A and B are shown apart, each in its own frame.
Chain A
Amino acid sequence: MTDTAVVTTTRKDWVSDQEVRWCPGCGDYSILAAVQMLLAEIGAKRERTVFVSGIGCAARFPYYMNTYGMHSIHGRAPAVATGLAATRPDLDVWVVSGDGDALSIGGNHLIHALRRNVNLTILLFNNEIYGLTKGQYSPTSEQGKVTKSSPFGSIETPFNPVSLALGSEATFVARTHDMDRKHMMETFRRAHEHRGSALVEIYQNCNVFNDGAFERITSRDVRSEMLIPLEHGRPIRFGTDGSRGVALGPDGRMKVVDVAEVGEEALVVHDEKADDPSLAFMLSRLARGPYEPTPIGVFRAVERTEYGDAMSAQLIAAQQSKGAGDIDALLRSAGTWTVSG
């Protein structure tokens, strides 16, 4: 929830007194900075801001924020945050999670939080590896990935977090990456403004256990050719001078095209507000992995009643029809009889 009263803070006000203990060079540092800068920029209030996390490297995030926070247990942050957000509609509740935390041990909580549309801003740090346990494959690791727990290559098909979120009835789904602070801040701002569950997948580099997982699309020299920025109401174009774009082929499949070849009118116009998530889902499937041109930005942003608001509405309606609860009347509600002395 955005407060209207202007509070002037700087990034420093959002930095806690705890020493940050991520590995030097970790992508988490830039995400932390982007969040702190954003909160200062939008005039958020520290006392109304809560960060809830699970377990993993990313989950240390709350300790570094000078706000309210809870470092909970593995996978359960969306559940804890649901209880908080459903009872405290006045708070800004952020969930910080990783690919193992959110998609493996906590997968159930994530999909249900999204389905319910609880007012949570969920940052999913996806580095495609288990970092805190020192390098096992994760539910987003590519097939064939060789790690300590998959010495002959992972035999599992990875999750695509954006596809999963869209399939979970999410009302806001976005993707950004740790190499572009401006894009991160803009994406986080949009997610934060959204009333309901907002999921942001962040491609995040683990320079110790999975270094360079995203560099084929995020490094500065290839970015313009490999990242497809999504802008609502605009034809989807990327590449030098917008020479490439996204179109639907005659077979109904979405593909990357040369604009010069097909003409601009053939390009898909991005509609993040579309009620039907099908096009957003196709966009999420456009790249088979972070080595093909990959859409970033807001895939979907639609309005739907927020969970806590719906819960509050039922409470208010009940109080209006029955009056405020009276304990004495409750105890007598099943019928009584009197024994006289």
Chain B
Amino acid sequence: MTVTAREHQPIELDRVVIRFAGDSGDGMQLTGTRFTVVSSLFGNDTATLPDFPAEIRAPAGTLAGVSAFQVQISDHDILTPGDAPNVLVAMNPAALRADLPLVPPGATVIVNVDAFDERSLEKAGYAANPLADGSLSRYKVYEIPMTSLTMEVAKQAGVKPRDAERSKNFFALGLASWLYSRPLEPTIEWIHKRFAGAPQVLDANERAFKAGYHFGETSEVFESNYQVPPASLDPGTYTETTGNTALAWGLIAAAHQARLGLFLGSYPITPASDILHELAKQKHFGVRTFQAEDEIAGVGAAIGASFGGSLGVTTTSGPGVDLKSESIGMAVSLELPLVIVDVQRGGPSTGLPTKTEQSDLLHAMYGRHGEAPVPIVAAKTPSHCFAAAIEAVRLAVRYRTPVFLLSDGYLANGSEPWRLPTVDSLPRIEAGFATETNHVDPDGQEAFWPYMRDPETLARPWAPPGTPGLEHRIGGLEKADGSGAVSYDPANHERMVRLRAAKIAGIAADIPPVEVDDPGGLGAAEVLVLGWGSTYGAIAAGARRVRARGLQVAHAHLVHLNPFPSNLGEVLSAYREVIVPEVNLGQLWRMVRAEFLVDAHSLTKVQGVPFRAAEIETAVLDLLDSLGRHAGAMEGPEAS
């Protein structure tokens, strides 16, 4: 849509990166989310990076309390929330100080000048007011009295002065909406819905939002506003989703496809709790959520539910996985379906609860005593969490095994437009409960052997209690192959260890081969970037940038980490160099080196934030340089 503001037409941009930053209590996550949703509805492609502290309310005005939300909107398909903001909206001095280092010279900085009083400057650690000392001379700075303008209009709504001030994030949202020609109506509608129960707050927020918009339009502070036209995305019906929501919906859809009741046993933990919240809302799908007394009870109850014929799921983050390890090992031994969702965060220990990391891969792979193999599925984008959840459930049910589903803080809270699949296109999942005996004792007596395996999948029968004639006992003690009776026989133990390993390894035949994005065909490029999980966007964007320079690079991205797709060895050997970027110290890198004896390079970053496309680009260029392929390459336009 076009806003006929003043005499100017908006200046057209192909993309823009905006970062909203303020105090934890300033509502920056809401501002960013609303701006994103409106942009998606408008037809842009979007990608977001919420970046907030672990404390709910760190001391106001301090650097520790800064909460930010970065969003990239564009007229073409994009893969990341952008390397560097074009616009920083700073609601106070601490936000400016914390986030200015991310902003390149020449970019726009919009500050809430009302917040730049002596005390706030001091709290942020500024010796002098940066708005006055010339230190921002390399930026386009706009000083807007957001607090006082908001107070002015919110007072008219009849709210108390202290509450009036709280609407200033809507002023900022209004201003940004004008600056980027966003339509007003969806936000106004949303304000009406969200604050229906508090008419005064509704009124104050709506007034503040409109005031921000009109301030931009009429004040002539800004020379012009901008327009990012809709992107030409694939035809279809879209919604805006976060990883946690998509993952919760994926679990519901998978249970539906399998015609199983969904049972979630979970203990609140950042950044996974939103999956519990979302599932707790969906009771009309027959979803049972159990907020357990601890992480162990969460997984224990999920195992109990699976034993009873439901789909047992537990959701957590790294510290919770530590606690669940013994129970996951039990599920390996019991051979019951179970999905363990690990929304990874910075570790070790409590680490960085609200920041992203990919450092639980080896934990998922090896974090149990004994030989206890578990399939691992990893989501690569927020919307892909949906399909990844369905795949994790499919494997858990088909192979009667616990399955790790890895997400992370970036995927969990980040959002993007998602082209909705049709229900018909979702895979069918067959629970295939056992209904009859499967063995005849030497005395001719019919019997049920709980560890008789399907010759194709090596999975054992799943016979929930209630079926007459199939009464059986399972447990964590080693079981005799077939009968499932307790067995300490040495040869039987080795057979069972190998059978459990073979069952999981055999899944390789049941998963798609890893796809390689190499425009020249497999092996055309010399360098392959191998990724997994949430690095997908940065790697794909980095590869685009390399190609824009006229150079070649291939990208393969793993969704299945255990077992690996059956063609992975072949793919790795088709390239002269392999580089593995990870937000850890090289975990997949170790796995592929160990498995394939490939002398891969590791590219690592552990700062609680995702890779930037430029970092991938630079690493690939350096590698190409070392091969003598960089010379003469042209400067490419920035892709993201």
Q: Which residues on B sit within 8 Å (CB–CB) of A49?
A: 465
| A323 interface hit (Cβ, 8 Å) | yes
| B585 interface hit (Cβ, 8 Å) | no
- Measured CA separation A314–B423 after assembly (Å): 26
Q: A68 to B252, Cβ gap below 8 A?
A: no
Q: Which residues on B sit within 8 Å (CB–CB) of A45?
A: 468
Q: B240 to A68, Cβ gap below 8 A?
A: no
| Chain B 472-530 interface residues, beta-carbon cutoff 8 Å to A | 472-477, 485-486
Q: A330 to B37, Cβ gap below 8 A?
A: no
Q: A83 to B469, Cβ gap below 8 A?
A: no
| Chain A 168-192 interface residues, beta-carbon cutoff 8 Å to B | none
Q: B307 to A76, Cβ gap below 8 A?
A: no
Q: A70 to B308, Cβ gap below 8 A?
A: no
Known: A70-B307, A90-B466, A332-B420. A337 touches B300 (CB 8 A): no
Q: Which residues on A sit within 8 Å (CB–CB) of B294?
A: 108
Q: Kindly provide the distance from the CB of A75 to the nearest chain B CB, expressed in whole angstroms.
A: 8
- Measured CA separation A68–B306 after assembly (Å): 14
Q: Which residues on A sit within 8 Å (CB–CB) of B285?
A: 324-325, 330
B294 (CB) vs chain A CBs: closest residue: A108
Q: Which residues on A sit within 8 Å (CB–CB) of B288?
A: 86-87, 311, 315
Q: B249 to A76, Cβ gap below 8 A?
A: no
Known: A87-B305, A339-B43. A330 touches B468 (CB 8 A): no
Q: B308 to A87, Cβ gap below 8 A?
A: yes
Known: A86-B305, A327-B423, A337-B43. A79 touches B239 (CB 8 A): no
Q: Which residues on A sit within 8 Å (CB–CB) of B468?
A: 45-47
- Measured CA separation A291–B43 after assembly (Å): 79
B463 (CB) vs chain A CBs: closest residue: A68
| B283 interface hit (Cβ, 8 Å) | yes
Q: Which residues on A sit within 8 Å (CB–CB) of B456?
A: none
| Chain A 69-102 interface residues, beta-carbon cutoff 8 Å to B | 69-73, 76, 79-88, 90-91
Q: A83 to B303, Cβ gap below 8 A?
A: yes
Total count of chain B residues near the partner, CB < 8 A: 73
Q: Kindly provide the distance from the CB of A89 to the nearest chain B CB, expressed in whole angstroms.
A: 10
| B261 interface hit (Cβ, 8 Å) | yes
Known: A68-B465, A334-B241, A336-B420. A79 touches B304 (CB 8 A): yes
Which of B236, B422, B465 contacts A88, CB < 8 Å?
Answer: B465
- Measured CA separation A316–B622 after assembly (Å): 61
Q: A70 to B474, Cβ gap below 8 A?
A: yes
Q: Which residues on A sit within 8 Å (CB–CB) of B465?
A: 47-50, 68, 84, 88, 91
Known: A73-B330, A323-B284, A325-B285. A112 touches B252 (CB 8 A): no
The stretch of A24-32, A59-67, A281-289 in contact with B is A59-67
Q: B297 to A109, Cβ gap below 8 A?
A: yes
| B293 interface hit (Cβ, 8 Å) | yes
B336 (CB) vs chain A CBs: closest residue: A70
Q: Which residues on A sit within 8 Å (CB–CB) of B464?
A: 88
Which of B41, B286, B327 contacts A76, CB < 8 Å?
Answer: B327
Binary interface profile of B, 406-427, with partner A (CB < 8 Å = 1, else 0)?
A: 0000000000000111110010
Q: A337 to B238, Cβ gap below 8 A?
A: yes
Q: A73 to B476, Cβ gap below 8 A?
A: yes
| Chain A 305-341 interface residues, beta-carbon cutoff 8 Å to B | 311, 314-315, 317-319, 321-325, 327-328, 330-332, 334-341
| Chain B 427-476 interface residues, beta-carbon cutoff 8 Å to A | 464-476
| A16 interface hit (Cβ, 8 Å) | yes
| A52 interface hit (Cβ, 8 Å) | yes
Q: Which residues on A sit within 8 Å (CB–CB) of B111?
A: none
Q: Which residues on A sit within 8 Å (CB–CB) of B532?
A: none
Q: A16 to B473, Cβ gap below 8 A?
A: yes
- Measured CA separation A87–B304 after assembly (Å): 9
- Measured CA separation A15–B238 after assembly (Å): 59
Q: B471 to A331, Cβ gap below 8 A?
A: no
Q: A48 to B283, Cβ gap below 8 A?
A: no
Q: A67 to B312, Cβ gap below 8 A?
A: no
B298 (CB) vs chain A CBs: closest residue: A79
Q: A83 to B301, Cβ gap below 8 A?
A: yes
- Measured CA separation A87–B313 after assembly (Å): 13
Q: Which residues on A sit within 8 Å (CB–CB) of B334?
A: 70
Known: A79-B296, A83-B301. A336 touches B238 (CB 8 A): yes
- Measured CA separation A327–B327 after assembly (Å): 31
Q: B290 to A83, Cβ gap below 8 A?
A: yes
| A18 interface hit (Cβ, 8 Å) | yes
Q: B301 to A68, Cβ gap below 8 A?
A: no
| B256 interface hit (Cβ, 8 Å) | yes
Known: A318-B283, A325-B284. A80 touches B303 (CB 8 A): yes
Q: Which residues on A sit within 8 Å (CB–CB) of B249?
A: 330-331
Which of B310, B471, B474, B486 contacts A87, CB < 8 Å?
Answer: B310
Q: B239 to A71, Cβ gap below 8 A?
A: no
Q: B297 to A79, Cβ gap below 8 A?
A: yes
Binary interface profile of A, 8-48, with partner B (CB < 8 Å = 1, else 0)?
A: 00000000101000000000000000000000000001111
Q: Kindly provide the distance from the CB of A298 to the nearest chain B CB, expressed in whole angstroms.
A: 26
| B40 interface hit (Cβ, 8 Å) | yes
- Measured CA separation A67–B312 after assembly (Å): 22
Q: Kindly provide the distance from the CB of A287 to the nearest chain B CB, expressed in whole angstroms.
A: 30
| B302 interface hit (Cβ, 8 Å) | yes
B473 (CB) vs chain A CBs: closest residue: A69
- Measured CA separation A47–B233 after assembly (Å): 55
Q: A339 to B473, Cβ gap below 8 A?
A: no
Q: Which residues on B sit within 8 Å (CB–CB) of A76?
A: 296-297, 300, 327
- 12 CB < 8 A contacts A-B: A47-B468, A65-B473, A68-B471, A69-B472, A69-B475, A72-B476, A76-B300, A87-B310, A88-B466, A327-B252, A337-B41, A339-B233
Q: Which A residues have a C-beta under 8 Å from some C-beta of B?
A: 16, 18, 45-50, 52, 55, 62-63, 65-73, 76, 79-88, 90-91, 108-109, 112, 311, 314-315, 317-319, 321-325, 327-328, 330-332, 334-341
10 smallest CB-CB distances across A and B, nearest first, come from A71-B475, A83-B304, A83-B301, A325-B285, A79-B300, A341-B235, A318-B283, A68-B465, A84-B304, A79-B297
In addition to A82-B300, A109-B297, 9 A-B residue pairs with Cβ atoms within 8 Å of each other are A18-B473, A68-B472, A321-B284, A330-B285, A334-B240, A335-B37, A336-B237, A338-B238, A340-B235
